[in-house]
Amino acid sequence: MKKQSGFTLIELVVAMAVLGLIMGAMVHLFGSSVTSLHVGARQEVVYEEARLLMNELKTTLRYADKDSIDPEQPTVSTSKFSYKGNLWDRHMDIAQGTNKEYKVTVEWKDDTKKQLQVTREDITDGSKKITIFPNDSNNSIFEGKFPVTSETLTLNDGNTVIMYKIALPLQYEFNGQMKTQTLETKVVPSKDEVTETPEEKMRREYMEILNIGLKIENGEKLSDKEKKVYDEVGKYYNRYDKYPFTNNDKIREYMCNEIYGGHWPSIDLTTSTGTKISSVWFQPVCFDMANVDNVFVMGREFNVQDDYSTWVGGWSNVRSIYDYKRKVWRTGTKNLVMSKNWNELEALMEKQNYQDVQKVEYN
């Protein structure tokens, strides 16, 4: 009779123990994967909330009417911020779109200051869209600090613009711990970006070139933008020292030929009723090259050749000056003897009874 064989009790206990360990590890691994998946999903949702709101505020604020912004300079202690603007509603299909007027109000949802409420009202049809951020107050780390603040920037021409900073902080749970992140951006309303007149643009271009020469003279480091201009001017003259950047004639020649196509732009100066005072070519000039603030824009009468290459010098027929501080042309009946700095030139215009021009027409 053949002897029957089988597992002993000890063998069964050991096998079950090993199988239990394997199954336990698999369950733990699977559970961790599911938890990570859920945490990742929560993180993505919160981040997407912040990203969408950031784009909404940045776009609408860029096209806002700066006179409608209230308060004009918000701080972290601000509780309500609003502005109006106009925005094309179909950027990908311009033919089907319309220019719609909107109002955006950014405020705290309640006194806890943990959630932000953003209301975008379509003034055309009265419809409203309300966004709460973060949707779950547990993801908030605002700490009562308003997310829209401002700072004042001074431009090269001495004018100032207000830049708005948007900061949306958020938090989410990851591996049992709370992680934090902040989305930030800065924006200037586009109407502030395009207020530069042709005369101001010309003056700024001259000042940028002169400032590069002064930096070279003082051994200062150039910015990336300045390096690009430095290379362009240096290539034009085939020399890379300060001379072309600190010489009035060289700067004017480069600007006329390379920026303005060989001819200075022209304008008609008229009275408020349309009576023409004079027609001039306007062009930049500077006599005190140690200070960029002494750069100004003058107007030469039409009977003087506008082609830089045939201009032989002299300051006859200069009876019009652009007052960059007041953004107005001034003209008189006497030729100006050019002064070294702007203060002297202002005094000379007063002495010779120069008057403000009421209207300028660009040709």
- Which residues sit opposite 163 in a β-bridge? 151
Domain ranges of the chain: 33-56+66-193, 198-362
Q: Which residues contact 225 (CB under 8 A, 6 or more apart)?
A: none
pLDDT of residue 197: 82
Give residue-wise pLDDT tens across range 229-283: 999 999 999 999 999 999 999 999 999 999 988 888 888 888 877 788 888 888 9
The 3 state secondary structure assigned to 35-48 is HHHHHHHHHHHHHH
Distance CA 133, CA 146 (A): 12
pLDDT of residue 309: 39
pLDDT of residue 37: 39
Selected residue with higher pLDDT from 46 and 302: 46
DSSP category for residue 264: -
128-133: strand order across its sheet: 80-88, 99-108, 116-122, 128-133
Is the separation of the CB atoms in 193 and 182 below 8 Å?
no
* Percent over 70 (pLDDT), the chain: 79
Q: What does the mean pLDDT of the chain come to?
A: 80
Write the single-letter amino acid at 332: G
Spatial CA neighbour of 357 closest among 278, 283, 285, 302: 278
Is the overall model pTM greater than 0.85, yes or no?
Answer: no
The predicted model gives 126-141 an average pLDDT of 88
The predicted model gives 58-69 an average pLDDT of 86
The tokens describing 35, both together, are 């938890």
How many helices and strands in the chain, by DSSP H and E?
Answer: 6, 14
3-class secondary-structure state, position 281: strand
Indicate if the pLDDT at residue 345 is higher than 90: no
Provide DSSP, 119-154: EEEETTT--EEEEEESSSGGG---TT--SEEEEEEE
The tokens describing 144, both together, are 């009562």
The predicted model gives 289-300 an average pLDDT of 89
Distance CA 341, CA 265 (A): 24
Give the Cβ contact number of residue 332 at 10 Å. Answer: 16
> Which residues in the chain belong to E strands, given as ranges?
80-88, 99-108, 116-122, 128-133, 148-154, 160-174, 177-187, 266-270, 276-285, 296-301, 318-323, 328-331, 355-356, 359-362
The predicted model gives 32-42 an average pLDDT of 45
> Cα-flanking dihedrals φ and ψ of residue 293, to 5°?
-70, -15
Write the single-letter amino acid at 24: G
8-18 burial code (b ≥16 CB/10 A, e <16): eeeeeeeeeee
Confidence of residue 39 (pLDDT cuts 50, 70, 90): very low
Indicate if the pLDDT at residue 166 is higher than 80: yes
Indicate if the pLDDT at residue 189 is higher than 70: yes
Confidence of residue 92 (pLDDT cuts 50, 70, 90): very low
Fold of 198-362: TcpA-like pilin (3.30.1690)
Indicate if the pLDDT at residue 150 is higher than 60: yes
